[in-house]
Amino acid sequence: MIDAARNSPIPVMAMIRPRAGDFVWSPTEIRAMRADIAAIRSAALSGVVLGASRPDGRLDTETLSTLLADATGLSTTLHRCFDLTPDPFEALEQAVALGFHRILTSGQAVTATQGIALIAELHARAAGRITIMPGGGITPENAPRFTALGLRDLHGSCSVAAREDTVISGFGFGPAERRQTSARLVQALVTASKGE
């Protein structure tokens, strides 16, 4: 997939996440993440989206420093491990100090619309030092709520149901509903993010 992304006509930020679940990584998982960053650099992709947590939910700044050193020269986004931190303002300052370019967050809520008050406060406290990128249920319909706050980088899946397959899900091979990105929804979200 990294190799296929090399030929994308738009910049690609690749997620560095070796497994589902929490963001407390083992030494083996950290080695895999570092190898993924090297592959992304080799493929000349635009950047990486990554995160690492301590068992108490705080950012694992030691692991993040190592990963960010490997990602020097790439655009870097701290992913939603941020939403699990016990003190989002401490995590904001840590992300700035580490040198991240942006933070992807739902405002520590299930959806960004539910967390919009915290997102607004994070944006104000960031004061241009780092970009706050709302994500989690962002749609063309609710995007204006975020752009009105001065937020321009928005994260949305823009996905639609592609098909249902109860046989596959019955065997545990995948979810019952497969989703795919809708070009129409992507264009609508881009338009909404520009305030058009």
Number of domains composing the chain:
1
CATH number for the domain harbouring residue 123 = 3.20.20.380
Q: What is the pLDDT of residues 104-148, one digit of tens each?
A: 999 999 999 999 999 999 999 999 999 999 999 999 999 999 999
User: What percent of the chain clears pLDDT 90, i.e. is strictly above it?
Assistant: 79
Q: What is the pLDDT of residues 43-97, one digit of tens each?
A: 999 999 999 999 999 999 999 999 999 999 999 999 999 999 999 999 999 999 9
Tell whether 7 is covered by a domain.
Answer: yes
Distance CA 150, CA 85 (A): 24
Residue 159: predicted pLDDT? 87
Note down the domain range covering 19.
2-151
Q: What is the pLDDT of residues 141-189, one digit of tens each?
A: 999 999 999 999 999 998 888 877 788 888 888 888 888 889 999 999 9
Tell whether 78 is covered by a domain.
Answer: yes
Tell whether 173 is covered by a domain.
Answer: no
Tell whether 168 is covered by a domain.
Answer: no
With beta carbons less than 8 A apart as the criterion, state whether 133 and 153 touch: yes
| Secondary element (H or E) of residue 133 | strand 131-134
With beta carbons less than 8 A apart as the criterion, state whether 78 and 23 touch: no
Tell whether 192 is covered by a domain.
Answer: no
Locate tokens 């509903």: which residue? 177
Residue 171: predicted pLDDT? 87
